[in-house]
A and B are shown apart, each in its own frame.
Chain A
């Protein structure tokens, strides 16, 4: 009996204390609920980096860059594994998703609105590279193997997200404000975000020029509510240590080769292709040891050792690749070229198209820091100022190509334009007989969500809007 009492005593005393003793599994290092402006910082910063990441995938396809190595997969259209970029974009979308949910929870329409716009940008990046990707079942971990949504549906969704964002940002009842210091793109400026949403809308609507549903008027309507000067540009200028393109340039200088300019790009800029020297080139690229600018032919690789300045690279002091260079999501210059193309396609406003074309060039040169004299010298060159009657789509596309250096939007343009830039050639050793039109799905998806991944026939297969 005495013993039994002892046991009961032990059970009663020890069990609850044991339970308490074991209750140490609350993580002291990380919260389960983040600050909403912390998510805003992450979402805006990473979205800009995703533009960089996508830009580095497409830079060789549009021949801004060429690989320093012969027959490099990035040049010759062999399938590349874009798992890193894919993962980064979905990671960012995850934080945007949480910011939107948290915004809805606490009644912050401003955060919800920005979330919609950022989501749209990232979704559109995926759409442009792959077409069909997971979205409706994605991000919430409701299923471990999300299905893939139809590409056209995603395109419509990304447009709809912009409209939803504009509406939300138009409301004035937000419980929280965008934190100026933590909004990396527009420093908490709602109006600037609305302009950006319209700028993106113009860009998206222009994508369908090959489709019968294309409407130049819709594009122009969006343009009307978009940017009016370079100051409106959506860009990020704060980085962990330096602009990621600056890192590429720095790595190259430290023998981790990269940022080699393509022959195509250099020739378009140095007068070889068009007979007019572009004053932006010295502000972007390095001089060779021969005292001129030379590109590397895509698929051929470097001619020399790659470290003796036998070709041009993006410069560590260049406009796009210095420590604090802006990482541009979308710019006023692009809007002017969108306007030029829309008016050109509409056909009834050539002077307007021509003016927008010249404005686009000037905007780009002003942004890059070309002196007024040099800018005007270029703009006034008869090969540039051809007169509104002689304006061609090729001219608009050529100047847009130059102005959007390293921006992934150029690959959309190239595909819409069927790569019809002057002298644009297939890379040496290309494994396709035509220009590349899409990416293969990354290995991270094939190994983890293989059953849902759509089959890709050929990288020359055109996405829905390109057909």
Chain B
């Protein structure tokens, strides 16, 4: 560091020579000031920065000097100084044609030259929502990108899916590659540790502080990500962090504080109290099958006047706080940018927390006009206490609303309970913590010896350790102590995870202008990626001292380890040619050599080609039509598989009580002959702009086929294995993406921008391995056989959910054995113990599909003088999810609809002979006024066993975000050291419209990395509604 400062010190004087002073103001076309624009004397190392009001002051070499004005979101503009001592300049917004976008390997390209769809989201845009998780911040911003926040846990992972599920392998991550400043970055959601998949673990991209981001590019299709090869086959998210601007030291700071609450609770009945069959019992396991509250009160004078809404009672208000500071400055030759951030969140489930501390330094050093060096280091420490949301909700469901769940602990520290496990005591004592220490470092050398050639080399590293511990105290041994079931005799489990990605890539670029109209660029590159993963697990049970949480205090200890290496070497090339800046052709090719396939199959090549034509340059269009471009691309990507799948292995386990080691053949059969899988993408699109670019349309159609998929196929256990990894099956995704942008109003004081994103994806399983009829992806428990299963079945869409249903009356029509015929009447039993009630059909039928038919977002940004307002609506429509919470709420008499238990009714349907049902019955338990004994009652005997009741329409529309900001007038700040300051208030997830009866259907019961996450939204960590206050200031 000291050497760096010395360098800056020595280099600076060389650039400080002066002859003439120029002042002026930089503004936009609408006349608004462009704050902090960069003003540079062309060809010289002479740069200044304008102030917050766009005013600048530069000393130049003379009248022939040319000034270059630039600022993010604006086109660069050059002006000769001439005799002027004042130069006011208006910059055109960069949403126009010369827009530059960051593509693969950080290569900046003119957007007009791209033959594929790519989107860029500005850092400012991401910051607006103040979402702690970068992935969530992208919600609704890019067409074709489906983002689901897993739930409201502090630091909880979010899943991102570009153009649908592309793999038949349920265990395979379908999420895009994340690249930060050219370094391949891990974005896994690690679920090592007990029930970690339901603890809302962070996806690793959540480590990144959104304040640090300059821009995010999303490469969606095969041609866009072709240079990244297989790693980019699910799309690529390229993060560019902020870099310094030459000039005075700039300091920015922001502080934000927010309050979170659960945004949606299920409806509960408030009529019936604790007990079973209408009989009150204040110690009963059954939370809500007792008598009415009034009857219970008559028996038990201590009974509260009203029972609790135990879900609302179980959750807290959460809070979040972030403070960050960034500093940048330097000269053209030596620039530094750094930031420091602290984030803290307390969750809505008591005792859940998350913290993130990050520090970042970026530098740019120009040793000469030929050699530039860009190092950067990003350090992150993140983690927190994660409680099992599934367990919390399950326990809350069992907890009787007759009792206050918040009264969870006795003065002696043991659990307060009438009998059942108190979920809050569980959250307080049964604790799972992760602690990530991560360094993402990167050094980049750019050597440009001659105009037509440059060489770019980058070495990057993403390394983290993740120390996890899962602990619970043992019983204190007090007389009459109630113990929390999951804590057992107390335990201490430790997981030490180390993960490292090393990445080296070199790209040589050759540029040639053959004529003034025809030019070409050839890039040749090499990439090496080296991944290493290591995990050590030590588990100890039965604590000697009940509350000493260390392995040293455990009676039974076990340990195990796992290690994995993966390496891939690639060579790639890209040839781009452009004709007259209106026709662009790009051809790429890449060859990979992977460590995970056997020699002979481990080398594979794949090409891509894309074409773009800006026809508006060549065809005379009406004056209102400003711009038109057509694009087409085709790409193929080859893909390898995970390590260690070529052989069959044996696994061991140890009997804890007696210590024998037992060996068993692995259930998974390796296949030495695995060959790479292939994904082909075909894409057509157009970009149109009208009315002086004030209305823009970007439309895209794509079709993506993944064949020879390497997937573990489930096979009959009679073969000696339950799965075999092989090349089998094909999946197809087809879809459209549409983005509309508009500026309905654009004046000096007032502007209004609208962006609308819409995308629809349809997918289909074309084939799976011969001889098999289905692939089970995931399945979740439901009472009395109402388990719901997500399966892939050939010729059906990805994400179908299957389960039990009500029996339909077919009479004459044939039953295909799969469809639930909603047009047919339900059969009502006329005999047996369930007479008068609908009949269950236990055949596994198709009940819904978990993939949305379409997703969309509308972002509005309004600005009036110093005031800014933006609001965003998001929608996901046309999908179903299994609400496991709903299944339990019916089984335990908690759901609102179970209040009908004492009302005589007749179920709609027909008897087995087709005649209408007229039987009058009660849905409640025990003997009813008609003298009949209904036993456990309709909801337990029939209703809860019908999956159809709980696979619900999970479509939603939400007011995702509203942000109002006010930039303090400069005059208020006067001559203080504060350059400018903005205060803002942000509301996230303010309104949700959905028919789903559980928590917010966007949340999921599975971890963010899981393909199954889409289908199950029962016992989730509920999503939250947040209101945040933020102050930003620049100094």
B540 to chain A, nearest CB (A): 14
Whether B131 is near chain A, meaning CB under 8 Å from some CB there, is no
Complex interface: chain A residues within 8 A of B643 (CB): 24-25, 27
Query: A34 touching B717 by the CB < 8 A rule?
Result: no
Contact of A141 among B563, B650, B719 (CB under 8 A): B719
B782 to chain A, nearest CB (A): 14
B666 adjacent to chain A (CB < 8 Å):
yes
Known: A41-B663, A90-B717. A239 touches B657 (CB 8 A): yes
Binds A, one of B26-34, B317-325, B595-603, B613-621: B595-603
CB interface residues, B 673-732, toward A, < 8 Å: 714-722, 724
B775 to chain A, nearest CB (A): 9
Does B665 reach chain A (CB closer than 8 Å)?
Answer: yes
* B723: nearest chain-A partner, CB-CB: A448
In the complex, which residues of chain A have a beta carbon less than 8 angstroms from the beta carbon of B564?
29
Q: Which of B563, B663, B936 is the one whose CB lies under 8 Å from A70?
A: B936
CB <8 Å contact, B593 and A18: yes
With a cutoff of 8 Å between Cβ atoms, the chain A residues found around residue B773 in the complex are 447-448, 450
- Which residues in B have their C-beta under 8 angstroms from that of A32? 647-650
Known: A32-B648, A301-B936. A18 touches B569 (CB 8 A): yes
A35 to B663, alpha carbons, bound, how many Å?
Answer: 7
Q: In the complex the two chains form, is B569's CB within 8 Å of A447's CB?
A: no
CB-based nearest A residue for B528: A21
Give chain A's interface residue range (CB within 8 Å of chain B). 35 or more
Contact B842 A181 (CB under 8 A): no
Residue picked from B276, B566, B715, B769, most chain A C-beta under 10 Å: B715
Indicate if A31 sits at the interface (CB-CB under 8 A): yes
CB neighbours of B661 from chain A (8 A): 38, 41
Find B771's partner among A46, A145, A182 (CB 8 Å cutoff).
A145
B811 within 8 A of A: no
Contact of B772 with A by CB under 8 A: yes
Tell me which residues across on chain A come within 8 A of B722, comparing CB atoms. Answer: 87, 91
A33 to chain B minimum Cβ distance, whole angstroms, is: 7
**Cα distance A27–B485 when bound, in Å?**
38
B5: interface (CB < 8 Å): no
Complex Cα spacing A141 to B569, Å: 34
- Chain A residues lying within 8 Å of B772, measured Cβ to Cβ, are 447-448
Q: Knowing A238-B655, A239-B655 are in contact, say whether A34-B663 is a contact too (CB < 8 A).
A: yes
Beta-carbon contacts under 8 Å, A199-256 to B? 238-242, 254-255
Report the contact-size class of chain B (Cβ under 8 Å from the partner).
35 or more
**What string of 1s and 0s marks CB contacts (under 8 Å) between A28-61 and chain B?**
1111111100110110011000000000000000
Interface locus among A92-100, A111-119, A290-298, A398-406: A92-100
B660 interface residue (CB < 8 Å to A) = yes
**What residues of chain A lie closer than 8 Å to B776, measured between beta carbons?**
447
Q: How far is the CB of B520 from chain A (nearest CB, A)?
A: 21
A328 CB within 8 Å of chain B: no
* Chain B CB within 8 A of A165 CB: no
Q: Contacts A70-B941, A138-B718; is A144 near B724 (CB within 8 Å)?
A: yes
Let me know if A27 and B561 touch, CB within 8 A. Answer: no
Q: Is A19 an interface residue (CB 8 A)?
A: yes
Q: Which of A22, A31, A70, A138 contacts B602 (CB 8 A)?
A: A22
Q: Kindly state whether residue B467 has any CB partner on chain A within 8 Å.
A: no
Q: Is A386 located at the chain interface by the 8 A CB criterion? A: no
Contact in complex: A145, B595 (CB < 8 Å): no
Q: From known contacts A70-B936, A78-B842, A448-B715, infer whether A138 and B771 are also in contact, taking CB-CB under 8 Å.
A: no
B660 and A238 contacting across the interface, CB-CB below 8 Å? yes
Does B408 belong to the interface (CB within 8 Å)?
Answer: no
The minimal Cβ–Cβ distance linking A87 to chain B, given in whole angstroms, is: 4
> Is B565 located at the chain interface by the 8 A CB criterion?
yes
Contact of B715 with A305 in the complex, beta carbons under 8 Å: no
For the complex, give the distance between the alpha carbons of A91 and B715 in Å. Answer: 13
User: Is B784 part of the binding interface, using a Cβ–Cβ cutoff of 8 Å?
Assistant: yes
A429: CB under 8 A from chain B?
yes
Task: Flag if B662 contacts A42 (CB, 8 Å).
Answer: yes
CA distance A254 to B398 in the complex (A): 13
Alpha-carbon gap, A95 to B652, bound state (A): 12
Q: Which residues of A contact B596 (CB under 8 A)?
A: 25
Instruction: Let me know if A313 is at the binding interface, CB within 8 A.
Output: no
- Starting from the known contacts A29-B649, A39-B663, A143-B719, 9 additional A-B residue pairs (CB-CB under 8 Å) come to A19-B599, A22-B602, A25-B644, A27-B647, A29-B564, A91-B717, A144-B769, A238-B657, A448-B714
Can you list 19 A-B contacts (CB < 8 A)?
A18-B593, A19-B599, A27-B644, A29-B562, A29-B644, A29-B649, A30-B651, A32-B647, A34-B665, A38-B662, A45-B655, A86-B717, A95-B664, A138-B718, A238-B658, A240-B655, A444-B716, A448-B716, A449-B716
